[in-house]
Structure 1
Amino acid sequence: MDHEDKRNGGPTTDFHWQRDHKKTCKVLAESNKRRAETPRTSRLWEQYCAEKWQDIAAFRAQNPNNTESQQRLLLHEQYCRHCYRSAPQLEPRNQLRPCQTCHIAAFCADCPQEHPASECKTFQTIRQDETFAIQHYQRTQKDFEIICTERPKETYLPLSTATGWHDYFTRISDKGEFLSEVTSEMQPATDDPMVVKLAGLMRLASGTSSMALTILAALEAVFPDISTRTTMKIHFIGAAGPELNGLMVFEELLHLLPSLKNLELTLVGFELPEPTEDTAMELECCPDCTAASRTRILRLWKGGYHDYAKEDVYQKPDLAVAFHTGFSQEMKEEWLPTVQYLAAAQHPTLFTTYNEKEMEEETAILDRFGANFLQRGEINKWKGVCPMLEVMEEKEGTVYFMHQYRYLVVGKDT
């Protein structure tokens, strides 16, 4: 097909219309019609959110087979930052205009054309990170990146001594020579395209590396002798795509703990592939780890962790990890037996949440079950670097991070 076909709505345009936009267009048109019938007056953020949730509820009722991407189109629709009206509720002459600095906030012609400087700065960072992630995906077909310490360390350097990501990358890991022009906030210090790309890559990789470093920080908190341990069993509870796709990042534990020889990873969750039987798989290690006879063993078990704990193949872990379960907000009944089991389990369990509200809800539930906390909910030093916009929180402009909050539960006899 030539370029003329594409410009003038030839076969390619029709294909994408049929495959992608036809159903979504109907959904959005119905949503626009509903909101155009509401009063075109200024309102508060709380009123905007209530209307948006009503709109989404109506959409779900009319479209029981809706997809997450369709709902995201409704959630992320532009609105005026001041009067909280969206395009269907504005007069025809009144158009939404994006902020010329961050390009995320928008304003109608009747309202001030500005928003708080701190919010704008955060939105600029969000736009920067999302633009880099899209470009990275276009180049590599990957929506994440993994950057580990290249060579295993001969001397143990406690992660707890690092002040943050830049210090970890330059002093504990081995990326110092690359980051001389990257700031402590992991931002480029110059406009050099190579520096900008490198900073973007490290920021993107923090979302995956956060899993390994958050685990290592927990191991240091639980085991005073972590530097001499030769074997480590780690169970991942509610494991899904992020853990499966990021398996390589956990070799960082072998690289930063010189005495560690055998790392056993068990992934347990309803979203894992079959089989359910205990099948041990040896994962490939880097040449240095292989030469040192280090091993990484992977096991998968499909189902709930409280059920897995009853199986003959179950072995108590040194640490269980529950990343972003959201058990206080979603699938509460399905998660309840596992949460109750973990509250009394004779092993430490690390939990992470996206935000403070989830952390507070989860720890309150565990409190009711009599859980013993080694560390209560706190900001995780090793949260991902990239902020992400939470579009419908109680406070407008709320952002969250990968593994932003963490807490540790331990059995009373652990």
Structure 2
Amino acid sequence: MASEDPPSLALKQALCYTCWNISSNLSRCLACKRVSYCSKNCQKQDWNRNHKALCKKLVALNESKGYLPSSNRCWKDYYAEQVYHSLILMISYEPYCYHCYRRESQIEDGARLKTCQYCRLTSFCPSCQPTHPSAECATLQVIATDDRILVDLRRRTGRSSTIAFTGLPRQQHFPLASATDWYDYYTRLSDKGGLRFKMNRDLKYQGHDRKEREFVEGIRYGTNTTTYQLTLLAAIEAIIPNVSTRASINLHIIGAAGAEFASAPAFEELLHLLPSLTALHLSFVGKNVFVPHEEGTKTQDLHTLQCCTTCTTMGRSISFTTWRGPYHAYVDTDSYKTPDLAAAFHSGFSVDEQADWYPTIEYLAHASHPTLFTAARNFEILGEMEIWKSLGAAFVRNAEVNKWKGMSPSLVVYGDRPNEVSYRNHWWYIVEQK
């Protein structure tokens, strides 16, 4: 199971690093003190898998740091260390004191960090007060809950995402814009009305039944998957005046990678919420797109997604194609057809791979179709707006917080402050067609 990136709790040594078991009797690696295990067997598995090669490097890193006093140390000092060692995941998430930003290798010899008993994701050294803001702790408790959901989900199904959308197609169109938030979507537009008085606007359970609590936590966690479809639907409503009567829609997903493919079954929600829609076509385009054969950049195979029995009986369908390569190259192929909407989720084009993205961004600034963009953090949006401004782009929707962002927070490794969190598709905007 630990072949994938471990949950935050495992990286913070609150779960076994190998099997992700929740245990009150975890034992740390005596050499590097950076990973914890629930048994000798789990420790041996991790040692043989990759820790043997990594442990010596971590020990050397601990020795190179040595003791640091708690005074006069600031967040920038910790941040600089993070960036320097960014290639090693467990160093990026290594526990540190919430107040003086020291790692365990930097505090008094033999002393240990103490973990917050509520969130298990915040630590304190012996020299500092073991407290942090209650609202922040509550958010981190959500991350801890979601980690446990993830562990259970992978054990039961082998998957890391869950989908909770409308069970049956709606017979009448209710605009997504009429919903205030996810609570409205689930209890009024979708079919989870029975939960109206059992969860709040933040999708937190308000009762005492364990099974109901697990269900509510599951649909909140599932928003990290269906955020893609609802964000797309909100954009479609913003650009297509007659969306309630449209029979077909063509969407291009630019820079598509694992998260977009994991959410693919949830695209049926567009069929369920748009009663007139009978055909939805998706094109996944990007350098990391999976293609079924080596010549995926030259040819496209048409695939279909399995829909529910009701949609299938009604003759409704979802088809998709994949193309590996940059979008600006795709538009010059015979396979290209102008989409109703293109979308790039978390492209990060103002931060990462700017040179690779720029020709695509330059094309989209004056494309014959609108393009939706999302980002997790505000500084990404600010950087992107500068680039669009230099290209003379206009917007159907200016950059703003997306009410269909995922409701499951994630810890930010290189944050501007301790315990900063981000949300999937937190920000969004739509570039206007020319």
Separation (CA, whole Å) in 1 of partners of 2:152 and 2:304: 34
In the TM superposition, 1:121-270 aligns within 5 A as: 121-178=138-195, 180-270=197-287
**Matched residue type, 2:107:** L
Q: TM-score under structure 2 normalisation?
A: 0.86
Match of residue 66 from structure 1:
none
Q: What do residues 274-318 of structure 1 show as CA deviations (whole Å, max 9, x unaligned)?
A: 323122122222111111111211111110000000112211000
Q: What do residues 128-186 of structure 1 show as CA deviations (whole Å, max 9, x unaligned)?
A: 22222222222222111012211111100000111111110111011212554222211
**Contact persistence 2:70–2:127 (CA under 8 A):** no
The farther-off stretch of 383-392 and 40-49 is 40-49
**Compared CA separation, residues 262 and 7, structure 1 to 2 (3 A):** closer
Using the TM superposition, give the Cα deviation of residue 197 of structure 1 relative to its aligned residue in structure 2, in angstroms: 0.5
In the TM superposition, 1:46-85 aligns within 5 A as: 46-54=76-84, 56=85, 71-85=88-102
Match of residue 297 from structure 1:
319
Q: Which runs of 5+ in 1 are unaligned?
A: 1-5, 61-70
Using the TM superposition, give the Cα deviation of residue 13 of structure 1 relative to its aligned residue in structure 2, in angstroms: 5.3
Q: What do residues 188-246 of structure 1 show as CA deviations (whole Å, max 9, x unaligned)?
A: 11232112201111011100110000000001111111101111000000011112222
Using the TM superposition, give the Cα deviation of residue 394 of structure 1 relative to its aligned residue in structure 2, in angstroms: 2.0
Match of residue 411 from structure 2:
389
SS of structure 1 residue aligned to 2:58: helix
SS of structure 2 residue aligned to 1:146: coil
Match of residue 403 from structure 1:
425
**Compared CA separation, residues 116 and 193, structure 1 to 2 (3 A):** same
Spell out structure 1 runs of 4+ moving beyond 6 A. none
Match of 1:118 among 112, 128, 135: 135
Q: Does 1:365 align with 2:396?
A: no
**Compared CA separation, residues 9 and 227, structure 1 to 2 (3 A):** closer
The farther-off stretch of 322-331 and 268-277 is 268-277
Separation (CA, whole Å) in 2 of partners of 1:213 and 1:9: 45
**Contact persistence 2:280–2:318 (CA under 8 A):** yes
**Contact persistence 1:304–1:338 (CA under 8 A):** yes
The farther-off stretch of 302-311 and 279-288 is 279-288
The farther-off stretch of 210-219 and 242-251 is 242-251
Q: Identity rate of aligned residues, in percent?
A: 38
Using the TM superposition, give the Cα deviation of residue 41 of structure 1 relative to its aligned residue in structure 2, in angstroms: 4.2
SS of structure 2 residue aligned to 1:300: strand
SS of structure 2 residue aligned to 1:344: coil
The structure that is helix-richer by fraction is 1
Work out the number of aligned pairs and report it: 392
Q: What do residues 105-132 of structure 1 show as CA deviations (whole Å, max 9, x unaligned)?
A: 1111111121222222222222222222
**Matched residue type, 1:236:** I
SS of structure 1 residue aligned to 2:365: helix
**Compared CA separation, residues 340 and 193, structure 1 to 2 (3 A):** same
**Matched residue type, 1:130:** D
Match of 1:378 among 391, 396, 400: 400
Match of 1:336 among 348, 358, 361: 358
**Compared CA separation, residues 175 and 257, structure 1 to 2 (3 A):** same
Using the TM superposition, give the Cα deviation of residue 7 of structure 1 relative to its aligned residue in structure 2, in angstroms: 9.5
The farther-off stretch of 81-90 and 213-222 is 81-90
**Matched residue type, 1:293:** G
**Matched residue type, 1:363:** M
Q: TM-score under structure 1 normalisation?
A: 0.90
**Compared CA separation, residues 8 and 286, structure 1 to 2 (3 A):** closer
**Contact persistence 1:182–1:195 (CA under 8 A):** no
Separation (CA, whole Å) in 2 of partners of 1:7 and 1:236: 42
**Compared CA separation, residues 139 and 8, structure 1 to 2 (3 A):** closer
The farther-off stretch of 275-284 and 372-381 is 275-284
Separation (CA, whole Å) in 1 of partners of 2:287 and 2:38: 45
**Matched residue type, 2:402:** N
Separation (CA, whole Å) in 2 of partners of 1:53 and 1:237: 28
**Contact persistence 1:328–1:362 (CA under 8 A):** yes
**Contact persistence 1:360–1:377 (CA under 8 A):** no
Using the TM superposition, give the Cα deviation of residue 98 of structure 1 relative to its aligned residue in structure 2, in angstroms: 0.8
**Matched residue type, 1:325:** S
Q: Which runs of 5+ in 2 are unaligned?
A: 1-36
